[in-house]
Amino acid sequence: MIRRFWKRSPALTLAFLLAIAGCLFFTGRTVLYATNLYWRSERPVAGWMTPRYIALAYGVDRDTLATLLSTDDRDDLRQPLYAIARENGVPVTDTISSVQALIDAQDSAE
């Protein structure tokens, strides 16, 4: 069947096959992203995580998180928690505990 279409119009057949391949590729990426995002939210907060990552993975409001981390005066969401804790002069474990408490409070409110 493909041969018949290929003989009639090879460019259109090739475009159709590329479109199908693209659909399969992006469907696979979407499924992987969704499952990865689900499993991310099951992980505990770690020092390497950035506020932006935490906001996306755990569904925390960015402004609330920025206020908690004392970063609301700047727009740097790419710094990891350990660097933010070092700047604030607070142990990383305390910062992680406060972020985890915020996430737990949000989860219990839902």
Please state the domain extents for the chain.
2-40, 51-109
pLDDT at 75 over 70: no
> How far is Cα 35 from Cα 100, in angstroms, rounded to an integer?
22
CA angle in degrees (0–180, nearest 5) for 77-82-88? 80
C-alpha span between 43 and 74 (Å, rounded): 27
Higher-confidence residue of 110 and 79: namely: 79
Q: How far apart are CA 70 and CA 38, in angstroms?
A: 28
pLDDT at position 77: 66
Please, which pLDDT band fits residue 76 given cuts at 50, 70 and 90?
low
Tell me which residue of 51, 53, 78, 54 sits closest to 66, measured CA to CA.
51
Supply 35's token pair.
């499952």
pLDDT digits (tens, 9 = 90+) for 17-65: 999 999 999 999 999 988 877 776 678 899 999 998 898 888 888 889 9
